[in-house]
């Protein structure tokens, strides 16, 4: 399924949400904004393994991209938020976020130039719901349509070259598509990390188990989207993998039990690079 060329969102709200996204005032100590960990100048994430939040504290996982997140069925690796709005509340109030409180954020905004902008849009001005809503509208606007693969899906057979087409076939025949499918090539199911070969890391992220308390949900995560994957290195929740090539090899081993080292990754890699879409319209013209 291609990414839709457009998606309905409220432009005035999204533009205000865009400003708040880069506003450090909203964090507990005024030191970081959403954009500190989710760079808007390319990937929607950071190029570093971890990011740094309030009090210089290192994040527990690699920051996920915010691009196309509106298409995910839940949010965070452990899927603890079911909606964009819950995700934003979580990101405003908790660790790996702004560590503030909704009350504090509302009062800071009320005493700032943004207050007028809220009353221009909302009769009730600055409220916790409205703050969350403007950021949600901004996140909805962060879609990246028109990738080569999307043009191919829409019927343009020339959008992929021969190698990219072979890579697409291998992506399907090797079984990657079993977990990475749907409009986001991921983001629509939970799966164990380490189906065939256990995955161990010093920094295992909080998994689905922490939400459901079911034994079988240990090391189970929301399957990440592969959209714009060429831009979002480093890879995996622990940000331990620097290149796409290595990520493909690890996925084959851990998720599909394919351990033959000789098998080339070049085709699948070429295919994954066709998943890079256009800069979201709302960010065009930004540096
Ligand atoms: C200190 C760094 C940091 C800050 C600040 C931060 N985030 Fe994040 N964000 C992360 C990390 C790390 C993750 C992945 C955590 C996880 O999945 O458990 C994440 C995950 C997300 C996701 C989930 C993507 C998905 O589909 O699962 C969204 C959306 C998001 N953040 C938006 C925001 C917004 C909006 C703000 C500001 C209100 C914000 N973040 C502030 C680090 C940060
Ligand atoms: C059984 C389900 C499953 C299969 C099959 C699978 N993946 Fe994954 N994939 C996942 C999960 C779960 C993660 C998240 C792992 C983590 O962060 O620890 C992931 C992560 C990734 C990532 C890193 C994403 C990021 O943003 O960090 C890439 C790239 C990837 N997979 C590509 C592939 C390719 C290519 C194949 C086929 C060779 C494949 N996957 C097969 C479930 C799967």
pLDDT at 262: 66
Residue the block writes with tokens 């890879």: 235
Can you give the pTM of this predicted structure? Answer: 0.96
| CB of 254 sitting under 6 A from ligand 1 | no
- Give per-residue pLDDT as tens, 228-260: 999 999 999 999 999 999 999 999 999 999 987
- Spacing, Cα 283 to ligand 2 middle (Å): 28
Are 220 and 191 in contact, with CB atoms under 8 Å apart? yes
Residue count of the chain: 287
- Spacing, Cα 265 to ligand 1 middle (Å): 30
Are 36 and 24 in contact, with CB atoms under 8 Å apart? yes
Instruction: Provide the percentage of residues in the chain whose pLDDT is more than 70.
Output: 99
Distance (Å, whole) CA 66 – CA 48: 15
| CB of 135 sitting under 6 A from ligand 1 | yes
- Give per-residue pLDDT as tens, 117-141: 999 999 999 999 999 999 999 999 9
Q: Give the pLDDT band of residue 36 (cuts 50, 70, 90).
A: very high
- Give per-residue pLDDT as tens, 67-113: 999 999 999 999 999 999 999 999 999 999 999 999 999 999 999 99
pLDDT at 144: 97
Which of 201-205, 249-253, 262-266 has the lowest average pLDDT?
262-266
Mutation to probe ligand 2, out of 179, 200, 218, 235 (largest number of atoms < 8 A from CB): 179
Distance (Å, whole) CA 250 – CA 24: 37
pLDDT at 261: 67
pLDDT at 105: 98
Residue 25: pLDDT above 90?
yes
Residue 65: pLDDT above 60?
yes
Residue 203: pLDDT above 90?
no
* Average pLDDT, rounded, for the chain: 95
pLDDT at 287: 53
Q: How many CB atoms lie within 10 A of CB 197?
A: 15
Are 171 and 185 in contact, with CB atoms under 8 Å apart? no
| CB of 70 sitting under 6 A from ligand 1 | no
Instruction: Give the ligand whose atoms come closest to the C-alpha of residue 46.
Output: 1
Residue 263: pLDDT above 90?
no
Q: How many CB atoms lie within 10 A of CB 33?
A: 18
Instruction: Give the ligand whose atoms come closest to the C-alpha of residue 224.
Output: 2
Q: Which domains does the chain have, with CATH numbers?
A: 11-144 (1.10.760.10), 148-275 (1.10.760.10)
Residue 267: pLDDT above 90?
yes
286 by Cβ neighbours in 10 Å (0-12 / 13-18 / 19+) ranks as exposed
**What would you report as the CA-atom Rg of the chain, rounded to the nearest whole angstrom?**
20
Nearest CA owner, ligand 2 atom 9? 223
Distance (Å, whole) CA 107 – CA 34: 18
Averaged pLDDT, 209-233: 97
């Amino acid at each position: 399924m291609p990414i839709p060329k457009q998606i309905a969102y409220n432009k005035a709200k999204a533009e205000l949400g865009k400003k708040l996204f880069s506003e450090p005032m909203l964090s507990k100590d005024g030191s970081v904004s959403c954009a500190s960990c989710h760079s808007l100048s390319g990937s929607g994430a950071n190029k570093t393994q971890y990011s740094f939040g309030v009090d210089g504290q290192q994040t527990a996982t690699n920051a996920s991209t915010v691009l196309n997140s509106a298409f995910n069925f839940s949010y965070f690796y452990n899927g603890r938020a079911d909606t964009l709005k819950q995700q934003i509340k979580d990101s405003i109030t908790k660790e790996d976020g702004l560590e503030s409180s909704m009350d504090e954020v509302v009062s800071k905004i009320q005493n700032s130039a943004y207050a007028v902008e809220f009353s221009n849009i909302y009769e009730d001005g600055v409220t916790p719901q409205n703050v969350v809503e403007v950021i949600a509208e901004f996140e909805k606007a962060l879609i990246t349509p028109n990738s080569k693969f999307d043009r191919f899906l829409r019927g343009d057979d020339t959008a992929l070259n021969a190698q990219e087409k072979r890579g697409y076939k291998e992506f399907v025949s090797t079984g990657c598509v079993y977990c990475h499918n749907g409009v986001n090539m991921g983001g629509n199911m939970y799966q164990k990390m380490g189906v065939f070969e256990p995955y161990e890391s010093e920094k295992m992220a909080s998994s689905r188990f922490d939400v459901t308390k079911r034994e079988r949900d240990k090391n189970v995560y929301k399957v990440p989207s592969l959209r714009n994957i060429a831009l979002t290195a480093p890879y995996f929740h622990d940000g331990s993998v620097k290149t796409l090539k290595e990520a493909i090899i690890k996925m084959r081993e851990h998720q599909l039990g394919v351990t033959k080292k000789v098998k080339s990754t070049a085709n699948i890699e070429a295919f994954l690079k066709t998943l890079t879409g256009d800069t979201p319209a709302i960010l065009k013209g930004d540096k």
